[in-house]
Structure 1
Amino acid sequence: MARDAGEPVELTIGDRVVRLSSPDRVYFPERGETKRDLAAYYTAVGDGVVRALRDRPCMLHRFPTGVTGEKVHQKRLPRGAPDWVRTVRVTFPRYNRTADELCVTHPADVVWAVQMSTVEFHPWNSRAADVESPDEWRIDLDPMPQASWTDVRRVAGVVREVLDELGATGFPKTSGGSGLHVYVRIPPDHGFADVRRAAHAFAREVERRCDRVDLSWWRKDRDPSTVFVDYNQNARDHTIACAYSVRGTPDARVSTPVTWDEIDDCEPRDFTIATVPARYAELGDLHAGIDEAVFGIEPLLEWAARDERDGAATPDLPDLDAGAR
């Protein structure tokens, strides 16, 4: 253990205890936040991050020496987990492999993952009860290199308009990078292919209404000043950072739930592990009502069928099942 990383400490998280080694190791160099600070952050937003992760297979993005060092994409649960940490088994048919991934049910599960050098939490959009049936539709507004946050805001306004017309409730959050995510709870009645078809049909409707959107299949073909509405985030085993996940940036940015009305005034850099705990204490979890706001995707599947008749089928994805590590 590095001499300046501190002696191990024991953290009481509800009814569980997590041993945190090297608590003083600096993970985020811009302000000097440490592994201990990261654990304290996740404890402060515990109910919210557990709500975002509960019962979902979860890939971990680990940074053993801090966010300026090596990044490890971890599908399988790291060795040495306490017996109270749950897992869910997922399959990767292309390689005939399986992985037992972290399945969060308690804030201590998150802090234990921090002990294992996890910074980012990337859950599936399905749950352990039926991994092959998504219950979350994810709208990912991904700005191209020359697009601005103003462009993202403009597209978000159109997203909100279309959702309102559908009668769907979207729950927005910053991505923790330069984009925006909107989550919609759906019944687990369809497979990944249909949810992706529905998401593509929605993206096409947004593209019709907003000239800042480019849905060209290949990234090199997209206008670099536009925003890609990334419907592929609804494909099997595609994951993005959950609500309240810290991102692996030097300033410890957080993927933070926001209200629709905040989007025009906020900036992604406003939300870090230094600022979000006080915001959470004041506002609570802005995604707390997501499980009660369920939207059936049948209207979107009708849009998809219409588009397919017009020659605009959802592009096929190659088999992207990745081998589990």
Structure 2
Amino acid sequence: MVSRRMFGGVEVELSNLDKVLYPATGTTKGEVIAYYSAIAPAMLAHIAGRPVTRKRWPNGVDEPSFFEKNLASHAPSWLERHALQHSDRKVVYPVIDSEAGLAWLGQQASLEVHVPQWRFDGDRVGPATRLVFDLDPGPGAGLAECARVALAVRDMVEGIGLPAFPVTSGSKGIHLYVPLDRELSPGGASTVAKQVAANLEKLHPDLVTATMAKSARGGKVFLDWSQNNPAKTTIAPYSLRGRQQPNVAAPRTWKEIEARKALRHLRFDEVLARYRSDGDLLVGLDPPFAADNSATAESGPDALTKYRSMRDPARTPEPVPVERPEPGTDNRYVVQEHHARRLHWDVRLERDGVLVSWAVPKGPPTSSDQNRLAVRTEDHPLEYLDFHGAIPKGEYGAGEMTIWDSGTYDTEKWRDDEVIVDFHGRRLNGRYALIQTKGNQWLMHLMRERQGMPADNTDITDNTDITVADVEPSGGHVIRPSSGAPPFPRGLAPMLATPGDVAELDADEWCFETKWDGFRLIAEIDSGALTVRSRAGNVVTDRYPGMREIARELDGHRVVLDGEAVVFDDHGVANLGLLQAGAARAVFVAFDVLYLDGTSLVRKRYSDRRRVLEALAANAPSLLVPPRLDGSGADAVRYSRAKRLEGVVAKRKDSVYLPGKRGHSWVKQRNWRTQEVLIGGWRRSAVRNFKSLLVGIPHDGRLYYVGRVGTGFAEHDLRDLAARLSGLERKTCPFDNGLTAEERKEAVWVRPKLGGTVRFMNWTEAGRLWHPAWLGSRTERFPPSGDAG
């Protein structure tokens, strides 16, 4: 039976919707089309503008399939198409950039959608926009091993300032996507990916192979870099797979990858539910795509795309407009009392043709002493301004909805992380602030009024100059009178830097600082009382007794500082391994001030905050504020590498502080690290001289264990070290800090007389070397304590 249905304003002819394409689960063609229609807002971003190769199963996955590149002449005229000349023929490819296009693929039983990593530039092959690594487990390996390799790839590419996005392929392994921030020459993407694969093969020879030959893959994961060749394609994110189960190439979180033993592939219904709950996990992977065809562009994603994907107009009385939103007056609001699974109030403000929405579990605050949690939800259509009724059971947001309040509002401020409006309604009257705290979590606050101007608007968001004269040499302050000032902020989350290339930045707009190898801390000093919080917000004051001296020196001030707890080694270099061994010896390195004596500084310029911080340090000898790195970003990176520091952080001079956010106005670049170590033991091996070395760092006459080193050895290194270590064996462990039972397993202890240099990526939270490799040996003259054994 043939029928027609509208998808995003385009009519698609459908047939045989009851045909079963996945016999094991009874999944029909109709369900496949419905999935591709619902997932379109997420999937289109990652396939639009790319030639689509289809793998079709017209009679279901138990019957033969075939690949199809060329677009048949009878295909719908509204499908965009581009011709490419191959060596033997010209191929006309479809370009799928609309919900209707995806529905048409489902109608064709094109279960698998394959695309390259480049987009069309007119009718030519354009530059690659991303890299992809295909992690393919060999015999004896599985998804858990792929997850281990995925984490190693992530750490390597993040080390050069690029993020990575994991996708379980729905078949055997994992795909890792890396967005490119610059144009590479043809074939350049493959070259970069091949180098990463080769480096990881050297670092993890027992786990990773970059060799094409299948004979080399036993028990290992093949890190396939070749799919970055312009002629190759990869299964698209969110595409179904033609397997027994209707699995999907599913975007995952890194937390899921880290819990690798529980990792499994996901079915289409699970992926759709995750998308409706969490949105597209690949946001940031692909740049926005502007279609050449205006009609196609009109049917592409808009501000209501997510809203539509979460509702079926045949099953819910809610308005589900097919038209794109058009701007209105931007001054209307509605608050709906929503008796869903949990009672809450939906606050919706008209903005740019839609209703920007928050769910407030306890309802809007009724006094200025209340801060109410407000969860940012998907934008709603303007028709929701007068919607009330019952959403049926089983549908998104099921439950009774009534209008609690409505009216107009005036906008005082509208930013991505802060909204201040003045409501004029039956129940809501007055100035309210909505402030983002983390992700989709916001606070709704009723602002107090005072004569002349609102108290809660006490200059906390201006960006005017602060001078050193604002802090008196005696330690007093004249920045702002305390009356009417914002309350002392407790629990501020630190601002985070975005990985990037610091060497490209100049000194006109940027300042450069050392990236410290320690624990990030927020110090709250309230008239001599000290509270120290970790990056996660936990109170850790007792761990850092040395910081109490700073609080005593700043007695009389109320100040919030951002900085790092570090322990310096014998060469004056911050060392996280030593910090893990004894936090009580840590010093506090301060690099920002967020609040001082009645004034919030988070919206002041970084250059001004830095001057205030330096003025404070001049009156507090224990407050360590290291100097900025002079010159350009390239100069700072060279200095950092020469001094064997962790890296460099660049901060725009005019940047404000964004608590709890990762801002692009702060950029970090990490150096590859090296570390001098002493050998305190080795682990037995049945196939070579030793399995790994157990190494430590000497400090203050003690030897602190920092991990195992099992790679980087040439054959002569193995023979030479084994021979030299055999004469140094002892019965007791030479390390002064604790080792776990697993770390002691198969250990043969030695007197720590031999040393060497290791290269590694980072420190773990337990103070161990992350992915260390042996660089070379040396003889160590320093005898740690307990050397007799």
TM-score interval for Structure 1 and Structure 2 normalised by the shorter chain: 0.7 to 0.9
Amino acid at match of 2:116: W
Deviation at 1:251, TM superposition (A): 0.8
Q: Per chain length, whose mean CA-contact separation is higher, i.e. which structure has more relative contact order (CA < 8 Å, sep 6+)?
A: 1
**Residue 69 of structure 1: CA displacement?**
1.1
In structure 2, C-alpha distance between the alignment counterparts of 1:15 and 1:32, rounded to whole Å: 30
Does structure 2 conserve the Cα–Cα contact (< 8 Å) formed by 1:56 and 1:123?
A: yes
- 2:161 aligns with 167
After TM superposition, give the deviation of residue 11 of structure 1 in Å: 2.6
Match of 2:177, SS? strand
Correspondent of 1:124 among 116, 130, 133: 116
Structure 2 counterpart of 1:198: 192
Distance 1:195 1:54 in 2: 20
| Corresponding residue number in structure 2 for 1:10 | 4
| Distance across 2 between alignment mates of 1:76 and 1:268 | 34
The answer as to 2:263 corresponding to 1:267 is yes
Q: Does the 8 Å CA contact 1:186/1:295 hold for their aligned counterparts?
A: no
Which one has the bigger strand percentage? 2
Deviation at 1:188, TM superposition (A): 6.5
1:76-125, Cα deviation, whole Å (9 max, x unpaired):
113422221001222212x2x11111111111111112212210000111
What is the percentage of aligned positions where both structures have the same residue? 29
Distance in 2 separating the partners of 1:240 and 1:13: 26
More moved, 64-73 vs 34-43: 64-73
> Does the 8 Å contact 1:185/1:294 carry over to 2?
no
Matched, 1:231 2:225: yes
Give the letter for the 1:183 counterpart.
Y
SS at match of 1:159: helix
Q: Counterparts in 2 of 1:79-98, with a 5 A limit?
A: 79-93=73-87, 95=88, 97-98=89-90
2:51 and 2:27 mapped to 1: Cα distance? 28
Q: Which moved more, 1:174-183 or 1:11-20?
A: 11-20
Residue equivalent to 1:40 = 34
1:135 aligns with 2:126: no
Equivalent in the alignment of 2:321: none
Q: Deviations over 1:263-320 (max 9, x none)?
A: 1345333x11221111110011111222369989xxxxxxxxxxxxxxxxxxxxxxxx
Q: How far is 1:28 from its partner? A: 0.7
Cα distance between partner residues in 2 of 1:294 and 1:103: 33
Aligned to 1:17, what secondary structure does the other structure show? Answer: strand
- Residue 127 of structure 1: CA displacement? 0.7
- Alpha-carbon distance in structure 2 between the residues aligned to 1:191 and 1:26: 45
* Cα distance in 2 between the residues matched to 1:64 and 1:103: 21
Provide the residue aligned with 1:69 in structure 2: 63
Return the match for 1:283 from 278, 284, 303: 278
* Distance in 1 separating the partners of 2:35 and 2:193: 33
Alignment of 1:241-320 (within 5 A): 241-265=235-259, 266-269=262-265, 271-291=266-286
- CA deviation after TM superposition for structure 1 residue 65, in Å: 0.6
Shift of 1:132: 4.6
> Structure 1 72/196 Cα, relative in aligned 2: closer, same or farther at 3 Å?
same
Equivalent in the alignment of 1:110: 102
Q: 1:174 to 1:114 in 2, by over 3 A?
A: same
Q: Does 1:182 align with 2:176?
A: yes
The alignment's TM-score, normalised by the length of structure 1, stands at 0.83
Alignment counterpart, residue 215 of structure 1, candidates 201, 210, 218:
210
Between the aligned partners of 2:499 and 2:17, the Cα distance in structure 1 is 41
Q: Which amino acid aligns with 1:107?
A: E
CA distance in 1, matches of 2:95, 2:210: 33
Structure 1 gaps of 5+ residues are 1-6, 297-325
Q: Distance in 2 between matches of 1:90 and 1:71?
A: 24
Q: Is contact 1:174–1:180 with CA below 8 Å preserved after alignment? A: yes
How many residues align? The count is: 286
C-alpha contact 1:9 1:23 (8 A) present in aligned 2: no
The Cα shift of 1:159 comes to 0.9
Question: Are the aligned partners of 1:186 and 1:294 in contact in 2 as well (CA < 8 Å)?
Answer: no
TM-superposed deviation, 1:41: 0.7
Is 1:30 matched up with 2:8? no
Deviation at 1:17, TM superposition (A): 1.6
Which residue does 2:378 correspond to in 1? none
Q: Which shifted more, 275-284 or 208-217?
A: 208-217
- Contact 1:158–1:209 (8 Å) recurs in 2: no
Specify whether residues 188 and 89 from structure 1 end up closer, same or farther in structure 2 by C-alpha distance, changes over 3 A only.
farther
8 A contact 1:173–1:258 mirrored in 2: yes
Q: Name which of structure 1's ranges 203-212 and 33-42 shifts more when overlaid on structure 2.
A: 203-212
Q: Secondary structure at the match of 2:52?
A: strand
Tell me if structure 2 keeps the 8 A contact 1:259–1:286: yes
1:21 positional shift: 0.9
Alpha-carbon contact 2:138-2:222 (below 8 Å) kept:
yes
**Match of 1:117, as an amino acid?**
A
Distance verdict in 2 for CA 1:19–1:286, change over 3 Å:
same
Q: Is the 8 A contact 2:130 2:285 kept in 1?
A: no
Partners in 2 of 1:295 and 1:244 — Cα distance? 28
- Report the counterpart of residue 91 of structure 2 in structure 1: 99
Three-state SS of the structure 2 residue aligned to 1:182 is: strand
Q: 135, 147, 159: which one pairs with 2:141?
A: 147
Which digits, 9 at most, give the CA deviation of each residue in 1:42-82, with x for residues without a partner?
11111111111100011001111111112110011134222
Cα displacement (A) at 1:131: 1.2
**Structure 1 CA distance for aligned equivalents of residues 264 and 4 of structure 2:** 33
> What is the CA-CA distance between 1:187 and the residue it aligns to?
4.9
